[in-house]
Structures are given as structure tokens and as C-alpha cells.
């Protein structure tokens, strides 16, 4: 038995789940792993988040905040912060992505999710949470020039190109670094949302993978949901949900759509960088299968007039014909 396995066995014994059967659940792009535990008619989920690569404290903090507001984050049944283990409420297997791929109508799922966001955004972000501000927005989108461009060209990004890219974002970022900031869950998409129709109101939406939450613009999670990196969202559905949020929030339509496009471009270019890093650094090339969708989303965002200068820069550095080709070495 490895040290990590021994630690998890001891943790489960202390939590009263030492005799439970264990089955692996799908992991994600992080170092975290998940097991489903079953003991008779009862079940729970073990999160294994090994330090120092992972820190369970942000997850715990946000989970308790969401639970306190009446939302369906997994309840924490036991925790070992020193060794990075959590025992969580099992919210089931009805992920949006799975239900939709099996033929369930996506519209009521997305409508309920928009209503959840409208409700969540009526509450202030928890005190002390990191702001999703101009410096962070720019630092994150640097992943595009740090990882994608070198993989494309076979050389480090020239400082002149990097500086020009950062200057563009220095102009755009203040438009979405505005008050009031709301709780932004960030990885808010169909593979991290569960359908719990037996619950009422906003609690019908089961929430996963929110440990990277920040305080930021209310359009961000809408972008995460409707410009999904891993699955296509019907453009008509996305537009209907965008209208539903704008109507429900009372936001100015033009201003909100402008922020939505800026955040969409920032998020999608950042993810292109992340998917490249997962291949080049972490040996996970399958994320490159999402690249055609990612570039399609970027091009949709770039259609907004607010992003004209960014569009011109990208057209010069990564012409359309290169965006449609796999990166060299794949």
C-alpha cells in the first residue's frame, strides 16, 4: 500500500467509512482524484487532493458559504486539511453533460442555471475572497503567449509581441474589473453541474469544482456556461439564456454584452494556453481535441466591436489557416 493509500484508508476509518466499498470517479485536469464510497444504501465521495499541489481550504470555505445560502454544494462530512482529504455528500451522477448527451432537453436545465446565477448574484461575495481584477485578468491571459504561441512557432514569444498583447488587455481589463463584484465560481459548465430536480428553486443545481472561486464580474460564469470548452451549446439556446439573464438582472444590454465578449475572449484564450500546457508539460494531449471549438468561441467573441484591436493582433500573429490546423507535434 502506498503512503497516500494508507493515509486515505486511515482518514476513512476515522470518519466511520472504513468498511465502505470504493469505486473511482472521473478526475479532472488537476491533481485531485475522487472515489465513490458505498455502504449499504448510503454513499459519499472521497476527494483526494494531495498537498502541496492542492489545497482543500478554498473548496471548504466556498462549499460552506454556498451551503449557508441554501445552494447545493456538497456537504462536508469529514475533513483532513493536513493531508488533503475530504469526505463529501454524494450528489449523484446526473451531470448536465451526461443528461444532455442522453437526449434530455437542455433548455430547462440551462433556464434553472440562469435562475441560480441571478439568485447567487443578489448576494455579496464572501469577505476576503481574491478579486478577479485587472492584474489577474492580464496575468491569466498571458498563458496564451507563454504556452500556445511557443507551441505553434517552435520558439519563445518575442517580447514585442508579448508586450503588445498585454497592452491590449491593459485597455480591455478595466472594463470588466468593476463593482459590484459577485462570487464567480469559474469552472461553471455542464460537466460540473448536476441536476437535482427533487430539490426546490436554486438548490436544483448541484455544484462541483468551485475551489478557484473569485470575486469578479457577473458575466464571467455566464460565459463559462454558454461558451463551454468541452461541448457545443446551441447558439440559439446561448442567446436565449443571455437574454434571460439580462432581463432578470436588469443589466444594461449593450454594456453587459460588451463585458461578456471581453470576458469570453479572455477566458477562451487563457484556456487555449491551459490546454497547450496540459499537453506540453503534463503529457495530456487529448485536451487538444477541444482546440477547434476554442478557436470558434474566440472568433465569436472577436466579432464584438470592443475587440477590434485584439482581433487585428490575432489575425496578424495567428492567421485563420493556422487556427484550423493541429499544433506541430500532435
pLDDT tens figures, 20-51? 999 999 766 678 999 999 999 999 999 999 99
Domains of the chain: 3-89 (3.30.200.20), 96-323 (3.90.1200.10)
CA 223 vs CA 1, 50, 54, 184, 297: distances in Å: 43, 30, 26, 11, 10
Distance, CA of 294 to chain centre: 14
Residue 324: per-residue pLDDT: 86
Residue 26: per-residue pLDDT: 73
For the chain, the average pLDDT equals 96
Residues 283-319 pLDDT 10s = 999 999 999 999 999 999 999 999 999 999 999 999 9
Cα angle 228, 220, 105 (rounded to 5 degrees) comes to 40
Residues 130-160 pLDDT 10s = 999 999 999 999 999 999 999 999 999 999 9
Residues 211-246 pLDDT 10s = 999 999 999 999 999 999 999 999 999 999 999 999
Percent of the chain with pLDDT over 70: 98
The answer, yes or no, to whether residue 330 has pLDDT greater than 90, is no
Residue 28: per-residue pLDDT: 63
**Quick one: average pLDDT of 55-63?**
96
Amino acid at each position: 500500500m502506498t503512503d497516500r493509500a494508507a493515509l486515505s484508508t486511515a482518514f476513512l476509518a476515522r470518519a466511520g467509512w472504513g468498511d465502505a466499498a470504493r469505486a473511482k470517479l472521473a478526475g479532472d485536469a488537476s491533481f485531485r482524484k475522487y472515489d465513490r464510497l458505498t455502504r449499504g444504501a448510503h454513499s459519499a465521495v472521497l476527494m483526494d487532493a494531495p498537498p502541496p499541489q492542492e489545497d482543500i481550504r478554498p473548496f471548504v470555505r466556498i462549499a460552506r458559504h454556498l451551503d449557508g445560502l441554501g445552494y447545493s454544494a456538497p456537504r462536508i462530512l469529514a475533513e483532513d486539511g493536513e493531508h488533503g482529504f475530504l469526505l463529501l455528500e454524494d450528489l449523484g451522477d446526473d451531470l448536465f453533460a451526461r443528461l444532455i448527451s442522453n437526449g434530455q432537453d437542455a433548455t430547462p436545465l440551462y433556464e434553472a442555471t440562469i435562475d441560480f446565477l441571478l439568485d447567487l448574484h443578489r448576494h455579496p461575495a464572501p469577505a476576503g475572497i481574491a478579486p478577479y481584477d485587472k492584474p489577474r485578468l492580464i496575468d491569466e491571459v498571458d498563458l496564451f503567449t507563454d504556452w500556445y504561441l511557443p507551441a505553434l512557432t517552435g520558439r519563445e514569444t518575442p517580447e514585442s509581441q508579448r508586450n503588445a498583447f498585454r497592452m491590449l488587455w491593459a485597455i480591455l481589463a478595466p472594463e470588466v474589473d468593476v463593482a459590484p463584484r459577485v462570487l464567480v465560481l469559474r469552472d461553471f459548465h455542464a460537466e460540473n453541474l448536476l441536476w437535482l430536480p427533487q430539490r426546490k428553486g436554486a438548490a436544483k443545481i448541484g455544484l462541483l469544482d468551485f475551489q478557484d472561486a473569485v470575486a469578479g464580474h457577473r458575466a464571467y460564469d455566464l460565459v463559462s456556461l454558454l461558451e463551454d470548452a468541452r461541448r457545443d451549446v446551441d447558439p440559439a439556446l446561448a442567446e436565449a439564456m443571455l437574454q434571460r439573464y439580462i432581463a432578470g438582472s436588469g443589466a444594461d444590454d449593450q454594456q453587459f454584452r460588451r463585458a461578456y465578449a471581453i470576458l469570453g475572449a479572455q477566458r477562451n484564450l487563457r484556456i487555449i494556453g491551459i490546454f497547450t500546457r496540459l499537453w506540453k508539460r503534463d503529457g495530456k494531449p487529448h485536451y487538444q481535441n477541444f482546440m477547434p471549438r476554442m478557436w470558434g468561441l474566440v472568433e465569436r467573441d472577436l466579432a464584438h466591436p470592443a475587440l477590434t484591436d485584439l482581433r487585428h493582433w490575432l489575425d496578424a500573429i495567428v492567421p485563420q489557416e493556422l487556427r484550423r490546423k493541429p499544433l506541430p507535434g500532435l
